[in-house]
Protein backbone atom coordinates (compact mmCIF):
# COMPACT_ATOMS: atom_id res chain seq x y z
CA UNK A 1 0.00 0.00 0.00
CA UNK A 2 1.25 3.43 -0.87
CA UNK A 3 1.49 6.60 1.19
CA UNK A 4 -1.40 8.14 -0.73
CA UNK A 5 -3.59 5.22 0.20
CA UNK A 6 -2.65 5.64 3.86
CA UNK A 7 -3.69 9.25 3.57
CA UNK A 8 -7.00 8.44 1.89
CA UNK A 9 -7.74 5.66 4.33
CA UNK A 10 -7.19 8.02 7.26
CA UNK A 11 -9.73 10.45 5.78
CA UNK A 12 -12.18 7.62 5.15
CA UNK A 13 -11.85 6.36 8.72
CA UNK A 14 -12.21 9.91 10.03
CA UNK A 15 -15.43 10.34 8.04
CA UNK A 16 -16.79 6.97 9.22
CA UNK A 17 -16.03 7.84 12.83
CA UNK A 18 -17.80 11.17 12.46
CA UNK A 19 -20.79 9.50 10.82
CA UNK A 20 -20.95 6.75 13.43
CA UNK A 21 -20.71 9.26 16.27
CA UNK A 22 -23.43 11.46 14.78
CA UNK A 23 -25.70 8.47 14.28
CA UNK A 24 -25.25 7.21 17.82
CA UNK A 25 -25.73 10.73 19.22
CA UNK A 26 -28.93 11.12 17.20
CA UNK A 27 -30.28 7.79 18.37
CA UNK A 28 -29.37 8.51 21.95
CA UNK A 29 -30.72 12.08 22.07
CA UNK A 30 -34.03 11.06 20.56
CA UNK A 31 -34.44 8.10 22.92
CA UNK A 32 -36.71 8.68 25.87
Partner 1 sequence: MKTQRRTGVLWLALYLIFALAPLSLMLFGERPMGREFEREISVALGFTGIGLMTLHFAMTARIRALKEPFGSDVVYAFHRRMGYITLALWLAHPIILFLRFEWALGLLNVLEAPWRARWGVFSVVALLALVVWAVLRRRLRTEYTLWRVSHGVLALAAMAMVMTHAYMVGRYVGTPLKQGLWIAYGAISLLLVGYLRVWKPWQMLRRPYRVVEVRPEQGNVYTLAVEPVGHAGLRFEPGQFAWITARHSPYASQEHPFSFASSAEQQGRIEFSIKELGDFTATVKDLPPGEPVYVDGPYGALSPDRHTDADAIVLIAGGVGIAPMMSILHTWADRGDPRPVTLLYGSPEWEGVAYRDELERLQGAINLQVVHVLERPPADWEGERGYITREILERHLPGRDTRFRVYLCGPLPMLTFVSRALREAGVPDDRVELERFDLV
In whole angstroms, how close is the CB of 5 to partner 1 at the nearest point? 8
Closest CA to 23 of 8, 9, 15: 15
Cα separations in angstroms, 27 against 12, 14, 15, 23, 31? 22, 20, 18, 6, 6
**Touching partner 1, residues 1-32 (CB under 8 A):** 1-3, 5-7, 9-11, 13-14, 16-18, 20-22, 24-29, 31-32
Residues of this chain that interact with partner 1 (CB under 8 A) are 1-3, 5-7, 9-11, 13-14, 16-18, 20-22, 24-29, 31-32
Amino acid sequence: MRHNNANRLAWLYGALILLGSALVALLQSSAS
